[in-house]
Amino acid sequence: MTALISLKDIRKTFVNGDVAVEVLRGITLDIQPGEFVAIVGASGSGKSTLMNILGCLDTPTGGQYLLEGEDVSDFNADQLAARRRQMFGFVFQSYNLVPTATAQENVEIPAIYAGMPSRDRRDRAEMLLTSLRLGDRLDHLPNQLSGGQQQRVSIARALMNGGQIILADEPTGALDSQSGKEVMATLRQMNDEGHTVIIITHAPELAESANRIIEISDGLIVADRIPGNVRRIGRTKPVLAAKTVGKAAIVTDVAEAVRMSFRALRANLFRTILTLLGIVIGVSSVVAMLAIGTGAQDSVLSRIAAMGSNLLVVRPNMANFRGGEGGSIVSLVPSDAYAILELPNISFAVPEMSSTLTVRAGNLDTQTTVNGTVPQFPQAKSWTVEDGAFLEQSDMDAYATVAVLGRTVADTLFPDGTDPLGQYILIKNIPFQVIGVMSKKGASAGGNDQDDTVLVPLSTGNLRLFGARNVRSITVEVKDDSAINVTQDQIQALLDERHKRQDTQIINMAAIRETFTETSNILKVFLGSIAAISLLVGGIGVMNIMLVSVTERTREIGIRMATGARARDILTQFIVEALVVSALGGLIGVALGLSIGAVAQAFGIAVSFAPGPVILAFASAFLTGLVFGYLPAYNASRLQPAVALASV
């Protein structure tokens, strides 16, 4: 019969700095299928190192290890994981159960890495636990079980993928005598059912339960004997073998990884909350800052757009407007507007003159801005008439005493609901008939109430109200805004020629819009950068916590590797945990950022929510988890199973 396990001159040397210690010094032995073998030795004899090599938890420094006739001495980590997953079941002295998983979930772990469907592994785990008298403890955590019960869970886990070879390291070492007897009886029963059982112990009386005793001392086999009460070799095929054990899950069950992640995060809830906080602050800052920044930009741009981006506003230079060296100088006059109209690419030119005057209606009065303008004013200002009509050319020609009220003035002078249309108001004791009321315009970019105004014909205002012939500004609309800069130069040249000096300035609304857009975009980038720094800090927090988690859960990593997890499975598990933290933080951060924006909006602050920044913030949080979670996950995946299991 071909030996199930064949060791030929197995050696193992541990190197610590310049010191090399040879723990195994040429072990040669064969173990047949169905044997019950006890490897006995004192502490430091090398028996645990031998067990690690037998269980593919470690590799020998020299010699040959044949498993079912296949040399596994030089297998890589994934190949060794496959052998552990397919052939071995481990029973440890300290049970080595995952503390955050229930009894059933602990038993299912080997099947997860074998790619067994979830329903099948749940059914098999329940069957195994029931067969070991733990059917009523399926949902209990390890700390809710006695030592004997925990060891039986460990045995069930060893059988999950079939457990052709059961390796038990001091299986009764942490148990009372009665529980120890029950565990040994279970191991004998497993051997009777066809499992090859190898126990590692320092107790000779425990070894007498086996049908073969191998004594080891100082890394050498010193005895290999059959005890007097030898038992027959059991079946060669275990009756509790799994129906199928996959070579490996092609892709780790992400849903299962997420569930395991939530269990791990719940186990350290306070630390998880602190980790989430960094991501939440970063994401909410991005969402809120960009929403408020975009809202401010949109608010100003909408006001500029309301004025029209194809407009040029001509004004006197401030020095000339106040008066130069020779006294008061008239810069702009109505005839300048008519001259501008003669230029190509001009739709209209609207001159305005204004003064702050007292306006009275009945026994009510208010001080407001009286504007003298022309019929094209609503078009130039993108401002509509709500009631009545606007000024017409006939009003200009007749020097008519008619007026159109802004909404603020109309509400002030006619507060009781009286219709202003047809009513008379007094401006400088001159009666003006109200022919219209403008729609509500709101505040200007500078915060001035644009509705606090009275509009009268330019000709009438010039003659009867203002006592001056100069105009405050001329608003010009161009037909083709692609040629607005050329038209601006033409207007400047025309006015310089007419006035024989450069005493005017032209404001290009398109240029203002472009400049403001560029400036606000820079500001948004600046705000986003500040928020991104918060997110970066949160990412560093994720990495720190994950590094701590890897250190704290080193033994758990060893358990998972012992049950068949590959390095990539461990890598995936810890990356998923980092992503779960980041995704949760991202979702909460987005919700908080939207809430902050909503509160700001309720206080009258301009806020503009767009899907782009929200998606970007969440994606950044997710990417942060991936980037900052990779290093801890990589460190976890590089651990050696035997070293990880030996950690305290």
DSSP secondary structure of 489-514? HHHHHHHHHHHTS--EEEEEHHHHHH
User: What pLDDT was estimated at residue 619?
Assistant: 85
- Position 414 pLDDT exceeds 80: yes
Does residue 279 sit in the same domain as residue 334?
no
> How high is the mean pLDDT of the chain?
85
Task: Please indicate, yes or no, if residue 255 is contained in any of the structural domains.
Answer: no
Last residue of a domain, one of 453, 471, 502: 502
pLDDT for the residue 197 = 94
The span from the CA of 159 to the CA of 180, in Å, is 19
What was the pLDDT predicted at 309?
60
Question: Which of residues 282 and 388 earns the better pLDDT score?
Answer: 388
Tokens encoding 299: 């608010």
How many other CB atoms are there within 10 angstroms of residue 267's CB atom? 16
542-588 pLDDT tens trace: 888 888 888 888 888 999 999 988 888 888 888 888 888 888 888 99
Average pLDDT over residues 196-212: 90
Check whether residue 523 and residue 602 sit in a common domain: yes
pLDDT (average), residues 615-641: 85
Residue 180 lies in a domain: yes
Cβ(284)–Cβ(615) below 8 Å: no
**Strand arrangement of the beta sheet that strand 62-67 belongs to:** 19-31, 5-16, 62-67, 70-71
Q: What pLDDT is attached to residue 250?
A: 44
Pairing of strands 364-373, 453-457: parallel
- List, in sequence order, the alpha helices (H) in 233-392: 254-267, 269-307, 318-322, 334-341, 377-381
Residues near 358 by Cβ (< 8 Å), separated by ≥ 6? 365, 366, 367, 427, 428
In this structure, is residue 508 part of a structural domain? no
Q: How far apart are CA 493 and CA 332, in angstroms?
A: 14
Torsion of CA 93, 4, 208, 203, to 10 degrees: -30
Say how far apart CA 133 and CA 600 lie, in whole Å: 61
pLDDT at position 614 is: 85
What's the confidence (pLDDT) of residue 325?
43
Q: Residue 454's pLDDT is what? A: 96
Looking at the fold, whether 569 and 491 belong to one and the same domain comes out as no
C-alpha pair distances (Å), 482 with each of 80, 311, 337, 350: 72, 12, 22, 21
Predicted pLDDT of residue 530: 76
Structure tokens belonging to residue 555: 């033994």
In this predicted model, what pLDDT tens digit does every residue of 327-345 receive, in sequence order?
344 578 888 888 988 899 8
Residue 304 has pLDDT above 70, yes or no: no
Does residue 234 register a pLDDT over 70? no
Query: In whole angstroms, what is the distance from residue 66 CA to residue 74 CA?
Result: 11
Please name the residue that has the structure tokens 């005890």: 227
- Span 613-620, mean pLDDT? 83
In a domain, 168, yes or no: yes
Q: Is the pLDDT of residue 356 over 70?
A: yes
Would you give the end-to-end CA distance of the chain in angstroms? 41
**Could you say which of 482, 502, 522 is where a domain stops?**
502
Q: Is 432 exposed, middle or buried (0-12, 13-18, 19+ CB in 10 A)?
A: buried
Distance separating alpha carbons of residues 406 and 439, to the nearest angstrom: 7
Q: Residue 307's pLDDT band (boundaries 50, 70, 90)?
A: low
Res 251 pLDDT > 70: no
Q: Are residues 333 and 294 part of one domain?
A: no
Number of domains in the chain: 3
Domain membership flag for residue 309: no
C-alpha torsion angle, residues 490, 492, 493, 494 (rounded to 10): 80
Instruction: Give the Cα separation of 417 and 412 in Å (integer).
Output: 10
Pair 527, 486 in one domain: no
Is there a single domain that holds both residue 126 and residue 225?
yes
Angstrom distances, CA of residue 466 to CA of 33, 338, 353, 358, 461: 115, 20, 8, 13, 6
Does residue 226 surpass a pLDDT of 80? yes
- Strand, coil or helix: 146: coil
**Which regions of 218-266 does DSSP assign to beta strands (E)?**
220-225
The pLDDT assigned to 572 comes to: 87
Strand order in the sheet with 88-91: 88-91, 165-169, 196-201, 36-40, 212-217, 220-225
Q: Which of 193, 6, 163, 194 lies closest to 91 in space, CA to CA?
A: 163
**Residue 112 sits in the same domain as residue 158:** yes
Mean pLDDT of the region 173-183: 85
- Residue 93's nearest CA partner among 186, 167, 35 is 167
492's tokens: 């400047």
CB of 468 within 8 A of CB of 383?
no
Assess contact for 566 and 78: CB atoms under 8 A.
yes
Q: What is the pLDDT of residue 215?
A: 94
Residues 343 and 432 in one domain: yes
Would you give the distance in Å from CA 347 to the centre of its chain? 52
Q: What is the pLDDT of residue 442?
A: 81
Q: Which residue has the higher pLDDT, 5 or 118?
A: 5
Tell me the C-alpha distance between 573 and 546, whole Å: 11
Whole-angstrom Cα distance, residue 440 to residue 496? 37
Cβ atoms 242, 80 nearer than 8 A: no
Instruction: State mean pLDDT over 302-327.
Output: 62
DSSP assignment, residue 482? G
Q: Which of 92-106, 229-243, 318-332 has the highest mean pLDDT?
A: 92-106
Instruction: Provide the whole-model pTM.
Output: 0.67
| Residue whose token pair is 């981006």 | 309
Q: What is the pLDDT of residue 236?
A: 56
Provide the pLDDT confidence category of residue 445 given band limits of 50, 70 and 90. Answer: low
pLDDT of 324 above 60: no
Domain identity same for 378 and 275: no
Q: Given a cut of 80, is residue 595 above it in pLDDT? A: yes
Residue 308 lies in a domain: no
Could you tell me which residues are beta bridge partners of residue 403?
434
**Alpha carbons 283 and 273: distance in angstroms, whole number:** 15
Residue 261 domain-assigned (yes or no)? no
- Structural contact between residues 503 and 329, judged by C-beta atoms closer than 8 angstroms: yes
How confident is the model at residue 238, as a pLDDT?
Answer: 58
Provide the pLDDT for residue 381: 81
Domain end (from 249, 276, 292): 249
pLDDT at 394: 94
* Least trusted range by pLDDT, from 361-370, 380-389, 514-523: 514-523
- Beta strands 385-388 and 430-438 are antiparallel
pLDDT over 70 (residue 303): no
Please say if the pLDDT value at position 520 is more than 60: yes
Residues 181 and 286 in one domain: no
Give yes or no for residue 477 having a pLDDT over 90: no
State whether 163 and 93 are in the same domain. Answer: yes
* Pair 211, 35: CB distance under 8 Å: yes
Domain-located, residue 548: yes
Inform me whether the pLDDT recorded for 274 exceeds 70.
yes
Note whether 114 and 217 are same-domain residues: yes
pLDDT of residue 603: 87
Q: Quick one: pLDDT band at residue 60, thresholds 50, 70, 90?
A: very high
CATH classification of the domain holding 38: 3.40.50.300
**316 in Cβ contact with 469 (< 8 Å):** no
Alpha-helical regions (H) of 334-481: 334-341, 377-381, 393-397, 407-413, 458-460
pLDDT of 406: 94
Residue type, position 402, single letter: V
pLDDT at residue 255 is higher than 80? no
Share of residues in the chain with pLDDT > 90 (%) = 37
Mean pLDDT, residues 521-536: 76
What is the mean pLDDT of the segment spanning 26-47? 92
Print the domain residue range for 597: 266-301+514-645
- Proportion of the chain above pLDDT 70, given as a percent: 90
Amino acid at 302: S
